[in-house]
Structure 1
Amino acid sequence: MKGRSAIVTGAGRGLGEVIALRLLERGARVAIWDRDAAAARDTADRLSDIGPTHACGVDVTSEEDVATALASTRQSLGEVSILVCNAGIPGPNKPVWDVTPAEWERVMAVNVTGALLCCQAVIPEMKARGYGRIVNIASVAGKEPGPQIAAYAASKAALISLTKTIGRELATSGVTANCIAPGAIRTRIFDDWPEPYVQELLNKIPMNRFGTPEELADLVAFVASRQASFSTGAVFDMSGGRSDY
């Protein structure tokens, strides 16, 4: 990845920050995009000792914000070769009949439309150069939905489908689009879920442990690399044996 520029959305903290760190360690220049501009700047500053970074406060559901952030990123780091769509929200934890339209629409806006807008923004330049890597962070819930997370599961299923479509549309362009479907990786997102539900998630994992952010970052780094040249429209499972497809 040396000399290539990457965008990681939702990288102000949590999984996104660890992914950004790993890409920097592999030689990429990394733009830290996050709705929390202060968190993005803080993370970019802390990681700048490892490699070139750039911070952008951006709401991925806003086409204008995405366009402005991309222009700023290009000016600072050069043309973008790698996009990691990591920004996402968990949504409500309640039965589907209690989910409000506003809750549903917010989850879809961030988890699906946000990824769409980011992909639409970078694809033209990637196609023009004949090279690009798009990695969308989905979830095992998009393949095997559970109770009480209807909006989240549906959004991740939609993201998987979107990624497959993009991958096939770009199959001969030199640009790949893949997604990773992690199982439970304990981060602050779990703070929004009841502890009994978290324990239930653990019980579903044959390896009897949660994944680590570093394991996810390593897989992202591979899928975003030149080495992953014959995979597109694919779903890379990372669920500790939970998912069988």
Structure 2
Amino acid sequence: MRASRTAVITGGMSGLGAAAAARLVKDGLKVITLDLADRADLRVDVTDAAAVRAAAARLGPVDILVNAAGVVGPYLPLWQIPLDAWENTFAVNVHGTFNACKAFVPAMRERGWGRIINVASIAGKVGNPNMSAYSAASAALIALTKSLGKELATSGVLANAVAPTLVQAPSNAATAPEAFAHASDRTPTRRLSQPEEIAEFIAWLASDKVNHTTGAIYDIGGAPVTY
């Protein structure tokens, strides 16, 4: 991979996003983190479309976009979820990804090369109980990726997504113990995924080794779904 390529990672200061940033640096990429954390390269709220557009204009050409910004949302039965908690889960996970893609994809299309990796969740396929907001938002990300992959299929820009099981990361610090137990009980390997394991797969999807895969969703993490 050419060292001149640039990757932008939303939510790049913690958890899976930070692991992806560290892994892509090892491949010689220039990595720019977009996050609300103080030490981010650019402090950007991905739910603010104007702020994301401004960041894209400031950065110029970007080759790789990893949409890792996300929140788990409330751990409650659907009928008990406050509307603002539901809306915030979609605002960060879905609207944030939409905003970033809308801001960075056009220039990728113009240059004829790009890689987009969206971070969804296996919850979007199986629907975790008491996590309907997160499951629904992840399902939306999965459908978004499939559509975007088809729209970009002849452009040289590839859009794929990873759908991990529950990841052992700081973003899950507030996740209810019952959610961890549910995930572990239904994962044949009987353990949670580590951010570095997901980052390895993201690095592969961001590389020149992948050139004919788009609109695909990759389940990662101990064979959580069997067919």
- The 3-state SS of whatever aligns with 1:84 is strand
Is the deviation greater in 130-139 or in 97-106?
97-106
* Alignment partner, residue 143 of structure 1: 125
Instruction: Find runs of 4+ consecutive structure 1 residues off by over 6 angstroms.
Output: none
* Alignment partner, residue 105 of structure 2: 123
- Tell me if structure 2 keeps the 8 A contact 1:83–1:134: yes
Q: Which amino acid aligns with 1:135?
A: I
- The 3-state SS of whatever aligns with 1:110 is helix
- The whole-number CA distance in structure 1 between the counterparts of 2:211 and 2:129 is 37
Residue by residue, what CA displacement relative to the aligned partner does 1:16-72 show, whole Å, maximum 9, x if unpaired? 111001011001101111022x131xxxxxxxxxxxxxx000010111110121223
- The whole-number CA distance in structure 1 between the counterparts of 2:146 and 2:176 is 32
* Counterpart pick for 1:209 among 172, 187, 191: 191
* Alignment partner, residue 69 of structure 1: 55
- Tell me if structure 2 keeps the 8 A contact 1:57–1:69: no
* Alignment partner, residue 94 of structure 1: 76
Task: Quote the offset at 1:5 in angstroms.
Answer: 0.4
TM, length-normalised to structure 1: 0.89
Is the deviation greater in 149-158 or in 63-72?
63-72
Q: Which amino acid aligns with 1:34?
A: D
- The 3-state SS of whatever aligns with 1:178 is strand
| 2:201 is the counterpart of 1:200 | no
Q: Which amino acid aligns with 2:28?
A: G
* Alignment partner, residue 85 of structure 1: 67
- The 3-state SS of whatever aligns with 2:158 is strand
- The 3-state SS of whatever aligns with 2:98 is helix
* Alignment partner, residue 33 of structure 1: 34
Structure 2 residues not aligned, in runs of 5+: none
Q: Which amino acid aligns with 1:103?
A: A
| 2:189 is the counterpart of 1:218 | no
- The whole-number CA distance in structure 2 between the counterparts of 1:195 and 1:105 is 23
- Tell me if structure 2 keeps the 8 A contact 1:140–1:183: yes
- Tell me if structure 2 keeps the 8 A contact 1:140–1:239: no
CA RMSD between the two structures? 1.1
- The whole-number CA distance in structure 1 between the counterparts of 2:15 and 2:118 is 16
- Bigger relative CO (Cα 8 Å, ≥ 6 apart): 2
* Alignment partner, residue 93 of structure 2: 111
Task: Quote the offset at 1:227 in angstroms.
Answer: 1.1
- The whole-number CA distance in structure 2 between the counterparts of 1:235 and 1:196 is 26
- The 3-state SS of whatever aligns with 1:243 is coil
Q: Which amino acid aligns with 2:51?
A: D
- The whole-number CA distance in structure 1 between the counterparts of 2:178 and 2:88 is 25
Task: Quote the offset at 1:212 in angstroms.
Answer: 1.3
- The whole-number CA distance in structure 2 between the counterparts of 1:231 and 1:112 is 22
| 2:149 is the counterpart of 1:167 | yes
Identity %: 41
Q: Which amino acid aligns with 1:110?
A: V
TM, length-normalised to structure 2: 0.96
- The whole-number CA distance in structure 2 between the counterparts of 1:154 and 1:86 is 17
Q: Which amino acid aligns with 2:34?
A: W
- The whole-number CA distance in structure 1 between the counterparts of 2:181 and 2:83 is 28
